[in-house]
Structure 1
Amino acid sequence: MPARRPDEVTLRRRSRLPVGAQIAWRVGLVLGLLGLAIAVHWIERGGLKDTHDGHVSFLDVIYFTMISITTTGYGDIVPVTDRARMFDALVVTPIRLFFVLIFIGTAYTFVLRRVWERFRMEKLRKDLCDHIIVAGFGTTGSETVDELIARGTPGDQIVVIDCTSEALERAASIGCFTAEADATRDKTLQAVRIERARAMIVSAGRDDTSILITLTARHLVPSLPISIVVRNEDNELLARQAGATTVINPISFAGLLLAGSTHGEHLADYIADLASTSGTVQLAEREVTAQEAGKPLSALARGLGVRIYRNGKAHGFWEPEAARLEAGDRIVEIVPTASNEAAG
Structure 2
Amino acid sequence: MKLPGHDAMARHPEEQHTTHRIKLPQRTVERPLRQVTRRLAMALFVLALTTVLVYIDRDGYHDNSDDRLDFLDSAYYATVTLSTTGYGDIVPYSDSARLTNILLVTPLRVLFLIILVGTTLEVLTERTREEWRLSRWRSNLREHTVVVGFGTKGRSAIQTVCATGLKPEQIVVVDPSAKVIDAATAEGYAGVVGDATRSDVLLRAEVQRARQIIIATQRDDTAVLVALTARQLNRGAKIVAAVREEENAPLLRQSGADAVITSASAAGRLLGLSVLSPSAGMVMEDLIQQGSGLDLVERPVIKAEVGLSVRETDDLVVSVVRGHRVLGYDDPAVGKLELTDRLITIVRASPGTAVAPDIKPLRPN
Equivalent position to 1:312, from 317, 324, 341? 324
The letter for the 2-side match of 1:175 is G
Are the counterparts in 2 of residues 10 and 118 from structure 1 also a CA contact under 8 Å?
no
Equivalent position to 2:351, from 329, 335, 339? 339
The aligned length equals 334
State whether structure 2 residue 237 is matched by structure 1 residue 224: yes
The letter for the 2-side match of 1:136 is G
Work out the CA distance in 1 between the residues paired with 2:80 and 2:131. Answer: 37
Of structures 1 and 2, the one scoring higher in RCO (CA 8 A, sep 6+) is: 2
Are the counterparts in 1 of residues 291 and 350 from structure 2 also a CA contact under 8 Å?
no
State whether structure 2 residue 172 is matched by structure 1 residue 153: no
Residue-by-residue CA offset, 1:222-241 (whole Å, 9 max, x unaligned): 33211112223343233222
Q: Which residues in structure 2 correspond to 1:179-198 (within 5 Å)?
A: 179-198=192-211
Work out the CA distance in 2 between the residues paired with 1:236 and 1:61. Answer: 80
* Other-structure match for 1:52: 65
Most deviating of 158-167 and 93-102:
93-102
Q: CA deviation at 1:125?
A: 0.8
Q: CA deviation at 1:38?
A: 4.3
Residue-by-residue CA offset, 1:170-222 (whole Å, 9 max, x unaligned): 32233322222332211222233222211001122232222211111012223
SS in 1 for 2:343: strand
Work out the CA distance in 2 between the residues paired with 1:300 and 1:42. Answer: 90
State whether structure 2 residue 76 is matched by structure 1 residue 63: yes
The letter for the 2-side match of 1:247 is V
Percent identity between matched residues is: 34
The letter for the 2-side match of 1:27 is L
Gaps of 5+ in 2: 1-19, 355-365
* Other-structure match for 2:114: 101
* Other-structure match for 2:124: 111
Gaps of 5+ in 1: 1-7
Q: CA deviation at 1:341?
A: 7.9
Work out the CA distance in 2 between the residues paired with 1:97 and 1:241. Answer: 68
Q: CA deviation at 1:57?
A: 5.8
Are the counterparts in 2 of residues 11 and 122 from structure 1 also a CA contact under 8 Å?
no
Equivalent position to 2:251, from 238, 243, 267? 238
* Other-structure match for 1:13: 25
Are the counterparts in 2 of residues 159 and 178 from structure 1 also a CA contact under 8 Å?
yes
The normalised TM-score by structure 2 is 0.79
Distance change >3 Å, CA 97–CA 297, structure 1 → 2: farther
RMSD between superposed Cα atoms in Å: 3.0
Work out the CA distance in 1 between the residues paired with 2:186 and 2:353. Answer: 30
Work out the CA distance in 1 between the residues paired with 2:241 and 2:195. Answer: 17
